[in-house]
Amino acid sequence: MNDKLALFGFATTPLELVSFALAATTVMLNIRQNHWAWLFSIASSATYAVVFFDARLYGDSGLQLVFIAASVWGWWQWLRGTGETRLVVTRLGRAGWAWALAGWGAAFLALSWFLQNYTNTDVPHMDGFLTAGSLVGQLLLARKKVENWHVWIVVDVLYVGLYIVKDLHVTAVLYAVFVVLAARGLRAWSNIAQPKGLA
């Protein structure tokens, strides 16, 4: 059912192709602040969890399960906001940046240690670094912070290289597209962002 097939010279699987389409749709809807993006995010995370597990990218595979939970939370945030106030696009202040970078660093250390010691992955540090960065990006996206796009640009560029190394060429192409979409998202959200907040 999920046998390898060739597409434009790349080896892939039907599940990877489905995941590609769902993930691309997610990002395009995110740029437009359409709450249905979270439904596509849940679906793409579920399918990519299997794709990444098969590629021994256990950090990325486990991350997809976290993304499913974060997507439910993000969907609630986008629909309900904070109490009486609807969630709008804002920027991080210095404190918010500090917390985001500290969280990324702490999660990277914990994840890379776990992956190196308890899995058979051959890329524990890169997997841990990008998994941690993706968590930060997802949380900032859920809170409609412009800076989520900065994080995704960095993460997506590095993921392109990682997925080429892991022979996930179709997914590498997807993440190259993500870089372009993240740049568009950054421009679009920057134009409508409210003044900086603390977090």
Domain range list for the chain = 5-192
Predicted confidence (pLDDT) at residue 105 exceeds the cutoff of 70 = yes
CB 194 within 8 A of CB 44: no
Rounded to 5 degrees, what are φ and ψ at 81? 65, -145
CB 27 within 8 A of CB 138: no
pTM of the model: 0.81
User: What span, in angstroms and rounded, lies between the C-alpha atoms of 173 and 181?
Assistant: 12
The amino acid present at 175, given as its one-letter code, is Y
- Lowest-pLDDT range, 80-89, 137-146, 175-184? 80-89
pLDDT digits (tens, 9 = 90+) for 163-179: 899 888 888 988 999 99
